[in-house]
Structure formats: C-alpha cells, structure tokens
Amino acid sequence: MIQISHVSKNYGSFDVLKDCSTTVSKGEVIVVCGPSGSGKSTLIKCVNGLEPFQSGEIIVNGTSVGDPKTNLSKLRAHVGMVFQNFELFPHMSITQNLAIAQVKVLGRQQDEAIDKGLKLLDRVGLKAHAHKFPGQLSGGQQQRVAIARALAMDPICMLFDEPTSALDPEMVNEVLDVMTELAQEGMTMMCVTHEMGFARRVANRVIFMDHGRIVEDDEKEAFFANPRSERAQQFLAKILHH
C-alpha cells in the first residue's frame, strides 16, 4: 500500500529525514513514535506529498508521490489525513465541512455527500451536532469530525499526525476509541502518536525515529518487550514509567 524507500529531506544543511525506508501493507496499523524533532511528522507528511523530499521514493497504491508528473490532488483525495490541530473549516457548519470536498473534489451530488457525511458523523457519535460550527465543539469532538471528514472521501488509507497531542487529557480517549474501531475494521493506518496504550492495543508494528532516522521498525510485541536500540529504551522508559 505504502512503500517508503531511502527517503531523505533537508532544509539547507539540516537533515530532517535520513534514508528512511519502510512499508505499510494493506490493513496494517503502524505507529510512528519518537522524540520531538525526530522527523516523524515530516515523514508522514511526505506520504501524501504535503512535504516535498529531495531523494528517495514513496509509492502509494502504485503511484509515485515524488514524481513531478503525479497529480497530487488526485492522490490525496484518497489518502485521508488527520492533523494535530483538527483544521476543520471554521466558517462552515459541521455538515458543510463533511460535504465540501466530496462535492468539489469527488464530484458527488450535494445530497449524496451530506447523507454520507451525516452517516459518518453518526458513526463518530456526533450526529446531534451536524448544524453547529467547529468553534462550538470541544477539541475531542472537532477531531472526531475531522476523522469523519477524511473518511467521507473513502480513503484507501489514513494518516494521523499526532491526533491527540492538542487535546485535553479527558478528551484523548474518545478520539483513540474512534481510531481503534477504524483499525479493527481493517483500515490501513499510519499514526504518529505518543499514545503507547493505543499502540499496544491495535498497532501491528511500531516505528521509532530519532534525528531523522528510522531507528527501530519492529513488530509491536518485540518493540515493547525488548527494544533493540538504547535510544528507544530510554524513550520508552521515560514515557511509560509514570
């Protein structure tokens, strides 16, 4: 589904990503973690071409992301992404937020798009809020809407960029529950997150990054039981032991 091979990216002399390679198969859930500044968000944004990269190759569902001939808009329409700060459109109602890209990008009819949007809104437990505006919802609710908005495009895979980092602690679980459900239904997911409970529950593999490199890329059990690198051991010790 997603093949990342030897991807490097730099800002001038600063290397953000160094020779990163991994693959995500259909139906797999991959958690990407690591200290801040390790390049994990940049890596996930390279997957749908939001961040350009200088060398290497990323293939998503047979399409090369870095190829200048690729129609990125077309590719992105089928790769869902959820952002740290939700990024709902504040000047549109929740219903409009869910429908707009379906209508403008996929060319669906307005009623069909609204129908689909409302079904997904119901699925994330927010049907009653359809007519509201993003500013009237809590962070956790906004993030659930953002997930529904991405799902409305019938994505072939979903990218999550720290979906719970901007949330109050008591709202983290409502978002993780939606993500867990998605994972169990077989959605292909790549999640940048520090939620190790989520990783333990649903991830197939865990990727650990540090200084722009993929340091570990292991089955979940192996990663948590016995991380090979010292850096990952330190990281886990810090975030798990309190």
Contact positions vs another protein (CB under 8 A): 45, 48, 50, 72-81, 83, 85, 87-91, 100-101, 104-106, 135, 149-150, 153
Q: Is-contact 26 61, C-beta < 8 A?
A: no
Find the shortest distance in angstroms from Cβ 135 to another protein.
6
Give whichever of 77 and 236 is closer to another protein, judged by the CB atom: 77
Closer to another protein at the Cβ: 71 or 226? 71
Q: Which residue has the tokens 């219903």?
A: 95
Q: Tell me how far apart the alpha carbons of residues 55 and 41 are, in angstroms, rounded to a whole number.
A: 17
Which residues are CB-neighbours of 47 under 8 A, at least 6 positions away? 2, 4, 58, 60, 65, 79, 159, 190
Using the minimum distance from each CB to another protein, give the nearer residue, 88 or 207.
Answer: 88
The distance of closest approach from Cβ of residue 104 to another protein in the complex, given in angstroms and rounded to an integer, is 6
In the complex with another protein, the residue whose CB is nearer, 156 or 196, is 156
Sheet holding 157-161, edge to edge: 79-82, 157-161, 189-192, 29-33, 205-210, 213-219
Give the shortest CB-92-to-another protein separation in angstroms: 8
Element (H, E) at 219: strand 213-219
129 vs 149 by CB, closer to another protein: 149
How many other CB atoms sit within 10 Å of the CB of residue 125? 14
d(CA 64, CA 60) in angstroms, rounded, equals: 6
Least distance to another protein, CB of residue 91, Å: 5
Q: How far is the CB of 82 from another protein (least distance, A)?
A: 9
